[in-house]
Amino acid sequence: MFGLKLTSYEKRIIGTLVKAGHRLSLTGEGWVFGEAGGDTQVFESYRDFFNFCEGREAQITLIREMEETF
C-alpha cells in the first residue's frame, strides 16, 4: 500500500473494519474511511486516520462481545 509497512496490530484493526463492511483507502485527498451506510471521512494524516480506526475497532469488538454475552 504505497510503500507503507503495516504492523500486525495495524493489519488486525484494518482487517476488522473491512470485515465489518467499511471501506478504507488512501487517495490524493488523504486517508478515507467509508461507513457501511455510505458516509465517508477523510483524514490528512495517517496518525489521525489510525487513531480513528482504533476507536472504531474497539466499538466493533465491544458490540460483538455484548452479542455473545446476551
Within a domain: residue 18? yes
Helices (H), 1-70: 8-19, 46-69
Within a domain: residue 3? no
Q: If we measure between CA atoms, which residue out of 28, 17, 24 comes closest to residue 40?
A: 24
Q: What is the pTM of this model?
A: 0.73
Supply 54's cell numbers: 482504533
Supply 18's cell numbers: 473491512
Per-residue pLDDT tens for 2-19?
677 889 998 988 888 899
- Domain residues for the domain of 43 are 8-69
Per-residue pLDDT tens for 44-55?
999 999 999 899
Average pLDDT, the chain: 87
Within a domain: residue 24? yes
